[in-house]
C-alpha cells in the first residue's frame, strides 16, 4: 500500500509510503488518503492524528508528475476536490487535531497538506515551498487559498510568486510551524504534543476545533455566539464533571468521551 494507516491508544497514524517518489501522491494514493480521512471521521475513539512520510528525505513532495498524478490545467481546477490536496489541505469535516510530522521536504501539495494540519513539528532538515509556477502550474489545492491567511502578505507572496523553498528555521520564524527539532528527536517531540492533547477532554478538543474553523470569518462576538453541535455535546457531557472532580481530588481525569 502507498499509505500506512494504524490506530493505537486513541492515536491514528497516516504515513505516506512512497520513498522512491519522495512520498509524492499519485491518483491511487490520493484515493486511499480520502478513504482514510473518512474512516477517521467515523471513529470516535480516535482523538489525534499524526500525518507523516516514510524516510528522512521527504514528508511529501506533492503530486507525482512522473507517476501519474491525474488531470492538470482546467480539468484539474474544475474537478470537485472539497478536501483539497490529499483530502486534508482544505478539509472542513475533521474535528480532531492533526499533527504534521514533517520529516523532510514539504513541497507543492505536500506543503498544502501541512497547511491543512493543526500542529506542525518539523525536523531541522525540512524545507517548505510551493514550486508550482516553476512548472507552469498553480497551488490550487490549498496553497494559494491558505498561505496568505496564515502569514504576512509579503512573506506569502514572496513564496507564491517565486516558487522559492524556505528552511524549517524560516518556517518557524514565519509562524508556519510550532516546533523545529533535530531529526533524531522528531518522534519525541511529536509524542509530547500527543500526550498534551490526550490529557485534554476529547469532546472539548473537538468543540474547540469546530468553533475555530466555523468562526474564522466572523467577528469575535459572532464567533462566541456560535451554537455548534460539538460545543453543545461538550457542555452536556459527563466529562465536564469528571474534569472538575479530578482537579478537586488532585488526580488525572479519566475521560470517557461522553
The pLDDT value recorded for residue 227 is 87
Rounded CA gap, 200 and 181, in Å?
24
35: cell is 478513504
- Angle at alpha carbon of residue 111, lines to 91 and 162, rounded to 5°: 125
Q: From the candidates 30, 41, 112, 249, give the one annotated as an active-site residue.
A: 112
The pLDDT value recorded for residue 65 is 81
Pairing of strands 119-123, 165-167: unpaired
The pLDDT value recorded for residue 80 is 67
The pLDDT value recorded for residue 1 is 82
Weakest-pLDDT range from 95-104, 151-160, 170-179, 216-225 = 216-225
Does residue 132 carry a catalytic annotation? Answer: yes
Radius of gyration of the chain measured on its C-alpha atoms: 19
The pLDDT value recorded for residue 73 is 65
84: cell is 483539497
**What is 171-183 written as a DSSP string?**
HHHHTS-SEEE-G
Rounded CA gap, 75 and 127, in Å?
29
The pLDDT value recorded for residue 255 is 94
Residue 38 has pLDDT above 80, yes or no: yes
> Which of the four pLDDT bands, split at 50, 70 and 90, describes residue 68?
low
Rounded CA gap, 246 and 143, in Å?
43
3-state secondary structure 112-159: HHHHCCCEEEEECCCEEECCHHHHCCCCCCCHHHHHHHHCCHHHHHHH
The mean pLDDT of 111-133, rounded to a whole number, is: 97
Side-chain-facing half-sphere of 74: CA atoms under 13 Å:
0
pLDDT tens-digit readout, 77-92: 666 677 999 999 999 9
Residue 213 has pLDDT above 70, yes or no: yes
Residue 70 has pLDDT above 60, yes or no: no
Residues of the chain by 3-state class (helix, strand, coil), percent to 5: 45, 15, 40
Rounded CA gap, 120 and 103, in Å?
11
Residue 203 has pLDDT above 90, yes or no: yes
Residue 105 has pLDDT above 90, yes or no: yes
Q: Which of the 8 DSSP states describes residue 165? A: E
Rounded CA gap, 87 and 90, in Å?
7
Residue 217 has pLDDT above 90, yes or no: no
Burial of 48 (0-12, 13-18, 19+ CB in 10 A): buried
Collapsed DSSP state (helix, strand, coil) of residue 49: strand
Q: From the candidates 32, 38, 56, 132, give the one annotated as an active-site residue.
A: 132
In angstroms, what CA-CA distances link 139 with 45, 85, 99, 146, 235?
34, 9, 22, 10, 39
CA nearest 105: which of 56, 159, 71? Answer: 56
Pairing of strands 48-53, 11-16: parallel
The pLDDT value recorded for residue 77 is 63
Answering whether pTM is above 0.85, one says yes
pLDDT tens-digit readout, 184-202: 999 999 999 999 999 999 9
Amino acid at each position: 500500500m502507498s499509505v500506512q494507516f494504524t490506530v493505537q491508544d486513541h492515536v491514528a497514524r497516516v504515513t505516506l509510503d512512497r520513498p522512491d517518489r519522495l512520498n509524492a501522491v499519485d491518483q491511487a494514493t490520493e484515493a486511499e488518503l480520502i478513504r482514510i480521512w473518512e474512516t477517521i471521521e467515523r471513529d470516535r475513539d480516535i482523538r489525534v492524528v499524526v500525518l507523516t512520510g516514510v524516510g528522512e528525505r521527504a514528508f511529501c513532495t506533492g503530486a507525482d508528475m512522473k507517476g501519474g498524478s491525474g488531470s492538470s490545467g482546467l480539468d484539474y481546477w474544475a474537478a470537485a476536490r472539497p478536501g483539497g490536496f490529499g483530502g486534508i489541505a482544505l478539509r472542513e469535516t475533521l474535528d480532531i487535531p492533526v499533527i504534521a510530522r514533517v520529516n523532510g521536504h514539504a513541497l507543492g501539495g505536500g506543503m498544502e497538506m501541512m497547511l491543512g494540519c493543526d500542529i506542525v513539528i518539523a525536523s531541522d532538515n525540512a524545507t517548505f515551498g510551493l514550486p508550482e509556477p516553476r512548472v507552469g502550474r498553480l497551488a490550487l489545492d490549498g496553497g494559494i487559498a491558505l498561505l496568505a491567511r496564515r502569514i504576512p502578505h509579503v512573506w506569502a507572496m514572496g513564496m507564491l510568486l517565486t516558487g522559492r523553498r524556505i528552511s524549517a528555521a524560516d518556517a518557524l520564524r514565519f509562524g508556519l510551524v510550532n516546533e523545529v527539532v533535530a531529526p533524531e528527536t522528531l518522534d519525541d517531540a511529536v509524542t509530547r504534543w500527543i500526550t498534551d492533547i490526550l490529557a485534554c477532554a476529547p469532546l472539548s478538543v473537538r468543540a474547540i476545533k469546530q468553533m475555530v474553523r466555523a468562526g474564522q470569518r466572523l467577528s469575535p462576538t459572532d464567533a462566541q455566539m456560535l451554537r455548534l453541535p460539538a460545543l453543545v455535546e461538550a457542555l452536556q457531557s459527563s466529562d465536564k464533571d469528571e474534569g472538575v472532580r479530578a482537579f478537586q481530588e488532585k488526580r488525572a481525569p479519566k475521560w470517557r468521551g461522553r
